[in-house]
Amino acid sequence: MVELAEPMAPPAARKWPAELAPILIFAAFALVPLLAVATNSGYLLNLVDRIMIFAVAALALDLLVGYGALISFGHAAFIGLGAYAVGILSAHGIGEGLVALPASLAIGALFALVTGIVCLRTRGVYFIMITLAFGQMAFFTASSLAPYGGDDGLTIVQRSTFAGLAVLANDRVFYYFVLLCLFATYALCRALVVSRFGRVVRGAKENPVRMATLGYEVFRFQLVIYVIAGALGGLSGFLLANATEFVSPAYMSWQRSGELIVMLILGGLGSLDGAIVGTAAYLLLEEWLSGLTEHWKVIFGPLLVLVTLFGRGGLVGVARTLLRRLERG
């Protein structure tokens, strides 16, 4: 019997762009404050803050959609719950980040646990619709909280303190705090994806029946990844509340969940680098196009269609294809 030869491993030169991508991404983020000082633009710092905050949420959602094939239209609920944890605690005079941050993570994880037990009993379009329903329940509940602003939202007096110190009041310190949270989220997601746990989740995406016959309880693995995504969504909400010093039910609307999915498609599903790149591309395009016309989505829509049809793997996939062609000469 003739044994088939192992496919030749790609040379190291072809691997370096993928390995270098996260280094370039985080180095670019780290240098933004210097650029903001050089151009005397405080707005640039706020814009990239927003990009990194939503990148945290997009990374969490990519665990579900890109690696688990669990398309959730209620992911923004976790962001809103994390933000409201900060706002409600602040309204009661508790501005300590060592309390608010764990509370945001816990409320996001708890909501994911309770809803995930129900949602993960379904598949396909039913899963999409039930996550949408739970997300809208959270949205309308927040809208009805009259003591905390209701539809008008809730203003936060000041950013969270840590050990009583208002370190986040400085915009540059807050920026690097957000960057640290993004890096920690990226590292956690990358460790999960390459672990045995992540391989089971990816295997369940391809063939859940086969994974079950191998002895893995697919529901339990998916529930754990759902809870982790919920906690990371809560982290994004904590950062967003501190960045804007405001909390609103709009943070957890289904449109926000849809925007997060568009970010993933634009950057490349099933790619952690793509989640960050897609978030940056979406928000930068929104910033640029909205300056041209209030109907900017009419322009953005066809661009997204073109990327989806001709850019296999999103913007990250397009970049990798171009690099391979350049290497071939």
The pLDDT, as a whole number, for residue 14 is: 47
- Residue 37 has a CB neighbour count (10 Å cut-off) of 13
The pLDDT, as a whole number, for residue 7 is: 42
Task: Give every CB contact of residue 56 below 8 A, 6+ residues apart in sequence.
Answer: 181, 182, 185, 232, 235, 236, 239
Max alpha carbon distance in the chain (Å)? 76
Task: Give every CB contact of residue 101 below 8 A, 6+ residues apart in sequence.
Answer: 160, 235, 238
Could you tell me what percent of the chain has a pLDDT over 90?
64
pLDDT: which is higher, 15 or 261:
261
Q: Per-residue pLDDT averaged across 141-166, rounded?
A: 90
The pLDDT, as a whole number, for residue 196 is: 92
Q: Per-residue pLDDT averaged across 24-35, rounded?
A: 93
Smallest Cα–Cα separation from 64: which of 130, 135, 127?
127
The pLDDT, as a whole number, for residue 297 is: 84
Q: Per-residue pLDDT averaged across 19-28, rounded?
A: 88
What is the phi-psi region of residue 150: left when phi exceeds 0, alpha when psi lies from -120 to 50, beta otherwise?
Answer: left
pLDDT at 82 over 60: yes
Q: How does 145-159 read in b/e, with b if 16+ C-beta sit within 10 Å?
A: beebbeeebbebeeb
pLDDT at 10 over 50: no
Residue type at position 181: C
pLDDT in tens, 200-219: 999 888 888 888 888 889 99
* Local structure of residue 163 (DSSP, 8 states): T
Domains of the chain by residue range: 39-252
pLDDT-based confidence at 18, cuts 50/70/90? low
Question: Which of helix, strand or coil describes residue 109?
Answer: helix
The pLDDT, as a whole number, for residue 9 is: 43
The pLDDT, as a whole number, for residue 17 is: 56
Q: Are 275 and 62 in contact (CB under 8 A)?
A: yes
Q: Per-residue pLDDT averaged across 97-116, rounded?
A: 96
The pLDDT, as a whole number, for residue 13 is: 40
Average pLDDT taken over every residue of the chain = 89
Smallest Cα–Cα separation from 61: which of 230, 191, 184?
230
Smallest Cα–Cα separation from 243: which of 159, 122, 185, 180?
159
Place of tokens 């000041």: 158
Span between the terminal Cα atoms of the chain, in Å: 39
The pLDDT, as a whole number, for residue 310 is: 78
